[in-house]
Amino acid sequence: MGLAMWTLMGRFGMSLFVNEHSDFFFMKAFVRMTDPMIRAMKWATPNFLVEKMRPLYVAWFIYMIRFYLMPLILGYSVMGMLSFPLESEIAVIIYESARSSSRGPAWRLSRLM
């Protein structure tokens, strides 16, 4: 669900600068991956919504499902940013890589003395 949400947001962001029917490879990929999701959510998308905003609306819908429904289904006791498994894993990787790079050889040497 996280990848679907971020892909929809990427399509919206790219559509601000590139036409959706462009020959640009990444735009074609975003459109090909997200069109089925947008069609599936057509029942929940209001008709007055501008066509370019529909991917963002569907991404918001997925975000709400991820924030409120998925923690209940998966049994998380706390809601919030840490209830997003994809983003939590990315945050842990960033934290551990920053932590290990900040402890250079001088830090290890001082621990030995």
| pLDDT in the model for residue 81 | 54
| pLDDT in the model for residue 91 | 78
Our CA angle for 16, 41, 19, nearest 5°, is 20
Give me the residue label for tokens 């924030």.
67
Per-residue pLDDT of the chain (113 residues; tens, 9 = 90+): 888 999 999 999 999 999 888 889 999 999 999 999 999 999 988 999 898 999 999 999 988 888 778 777 777 665 555 556 677 777 788 888 888 776 655 554 454 44
What is the residue range of 89's domain?
2-112
Q: How far apart are CA 5 and CA 42, in angstroms?
A: 16
| pLDDT in the model for residue 109 | 47
The set of residues, in sequence order, having a beta carbon less than 8 Å from that of 28 and lying 6+ positions away, is 22
Q: Give the number of domains in the chain.
A: 1
Q: How far apart are CA 113 and CA 34, in angstroms?
A: 57
